[in-house]
Structure 1
Amino acid sequence: MRKILGIALCTLALAGAGCKKAATGGDGAMKNYVTIDPSTAGTISGTIHFTGQAPARVQIDMAQDPACTFADTNYTEQYVVHDGGLQNVFLYVKDGLGNKAYAPPSTPVVIDQKGCRYIPHVSGAMAGQPVKFTNSDGTMHNIHMTPTLSTNQAVDISEPPNDAAGEARTLTTPELMIPVRCNNHPWMQAFLNVVANPFYAVSDTNGHFTITGLPPGTYTVVAVHETLGTQTATVTVTAKQTASQDFTYASSSAAK
């Protein structure tokens, strides 16, 4: 009877502000997960600007492995600037959600090894969401992921050529800029960001980003770059509206 009553209450809530779904979190504790209400959800959108002269991208010598010489690009990805926009900046909502908890997706985040590169270079996942590493190359790769937190398991495994099934791992604790490298090809590097909520994004080739599905409120938004560091901003989101927020990194920071 209680189960039937709970389902009825949940159905009523979905018609209004949203339903809290009880579930077990990655730490084994019961959590009341909140669903995103599309009728009031807002958006944060902006651009990551880079001022001044960006450091030159360094060409990578991939000749040690003939399978890598067919790569479309062989330049470092540390500073990727196009028309003043900075790519590969991770952005997420750090504060402002209160005690709201959101269920991690069961669909994995995919990081591919293609052209002897990790694609994407920077990615994000929720704590408790699977992360799958695939190999599109005709050569053996190595996945060497080294979290700092002991609650996130380190990974150091080999992956055979043309492995579409991939290797999946799940990290349970939020942690930023976790390095992922390939011991077989030392130039290969990526960064995985694990966060506590689904409100995150990575800046694209023009430096643009969009964080969607936010309930109305005032939030602390954090921008993180692998070398240029962290910036924060306070952003107020209203129902069904898009709040604009840009960030700017400078060449003087890159030179340090």
Structure 2
Amino acid sequence: MRCSSPTLSALALLLSLASGCQESAWTPPSSSLAASLGGRPSSGRPGIIQGHLSLSGPPPLLPPLPTSPSVAAVCGPSVPDRSLVVGPDGALGYVVVALADGTEAPPPADPEVPSASLDQTRCTFEPPVSAARAGTALEVRNSDALLHNVDALAGSQRSILNVALPIQGSRVRRPLPVAPGVLQVRCDLHPWMSAAVRTFEHPWFTTTDASGHFRLEVPPGTHAVILWHPRLPGITRSISVRPGETVQFDYSWAAREVREAAQEPGARETRAGEGRP
């Protein structure tokens, strides 16, 4: 029996439709398209923000800080002023680089929570500027064969730590305030000794090294990144970084922008502030 003409026409139509479906086979959307539709790339890799921070123009003169006769045999008649550390070609050491706010991303894989550690060595605090996570701990060690004291003030108002470190190798550890802020650290016995600790409610922070370089792993996304140092104007920049991407962020302050060093509080004023809320 021969097929009728209408049957042959229907078969041809079905074959044509099948062929057309193969040519227009669906392909998954790109990650950028998925993001525009509300999806997120599947990669969980962090982004990296790195850069170099410097001072342009002749740096301010930082005369040595006179010590006292009682410590001259150990520390010398003077110590370097490290309230601003400027290296070759204006490189700025100990500048804090951080996200302005935390994110919903999980914290770094490193289980060690960043805390603050200071060393009293040769009648100075090292490092002079550092960063830590709020609510962790501050540890101070005395590496000098001298009697030192450590007095840490939160917001220049409330002393969270005021103890003597009488012998070489002695140390003390105390909790940091849970609220982020700036901690001023002093030695009441030797008023030229000071340091600053900036605390954050998240772990996305670092400081520049002696050559002014930094490297900070952050969650992918767009972030407000801050640069902070007690003697420099604060800087905030919006930076976007994708998973696995490295973004360069360099900045240079003009030498005229350097602020005067903070006035050292007297020992009597510091002790009077103990116990304030």
Same fold (TM over 0.5): yes
- Secondary structure of the 2:192 match is coil
Q: Does the CA contact (< 8 Å) of 1:116 and 1:137 recur in 2?
A: yes
1:236 partnered with 2:240 = yes
**Structure 1 match to 2:116:** 109
User: What are the within-5 Å matches in structure 2 for residues 1-256 of structure 1?
Assistant: 39-66=44-71, 69-70=74-75, 74-82=79-87, 83-95=89-101, 97=103, 99-100=104-105, 102=107, 105=112, 108-148=115-155, 154-164=160-170, 166-212=171-217, 214-254=218-258
RMSD: 2.7
Deviation at 1:39, TM superposition (A): 4.9
Q: Does the CA contact (< 8 Å) of 2:232 and 2:259 recur in 1?
A: no
- Secondary structure of the 1:163 match is coil
Deviation at 1:76, TM superposition (A): 0.6
Q: Distance in 1 between matches of 2:113 and 2:214?
A: 24
| One-letter amino acid matched to 1:132 | E
Q: Distance in 2 between matches of 1:89 and 1:237?
A: 21
| One-letter amino acid matched to 1:90 | V
Bigger proportion of residues as helix: 2
Q: Distance in 2 between matches of 1:153 and 1:187?
A: 18
Q: How many pairs align?
A: 215
Q: Does the CA contact (< 8 Å) of 1:44 and 1:243 recur in 2?
A: yes
Deviation at 1:140, TM superposition (A): 1.0
Q: Distance in 1 between matches of 2:213 and 2:149?
A: 31
Alpha-carbon spacing, 1:85–1:58, altered in 2? closer, same or farther (3 Å): same
| One-letter amino acid matched to 2:219 | P
- Secondary structure of the 2:231 match is coil
Residue deviations 1:83-125 (CA, integer Å, cap 9, x gap): 221122111101362x457498457432111111111111111
Q: Distance in 2 between matches of 1:135 and 1:163?
A: 5
Alpha-carbon spacing, 1:148–1:177, altered in 2? closer, same or farther (3 Å): closer
**Structure 1 match to 2:12:** none
Q: Does the CA contact (< 8 Å) of 1:67 and 1:139 recur in 2?
A: no
Deviation at 1:211, TM superposition (A): 1.0
Deviation at 1:243, TM superposition (A): 1.0
| One-letter amino acid matched to 2:207 | V
Q: For structure 1, list consecutive stretches of 5 or more residues without a partner in the other structure.
A: 1-37
Q: Distance in 2 between matches of 1:100 and 1:68?
A: 52
Alpha-carbon spacing, 1:107–1:163, altered in 2? closer, same or farther (3 Å): farther
Q: Distance in 2 between matches of 1:119 and 1:145?
A: 14
Deviation at 1:161, TM superposition (A): 1.6
Alpha-carbon spacing, 1:163–1:46, altered in 2? closer, same or farther (3 Å): same
Higher alpha-carbon Rg: 2
Bigger proportion of residues as strand: 1
Quick one: percent identity of the two aligned structures?
27
| One-letter amino acid matched to 1:60 | L
Residue deviations 1:204-236 (CA, integer Å, cap 9, x gap): 212111112x22111001111112220111111
- Secondary structure of the 2:50 match is strand
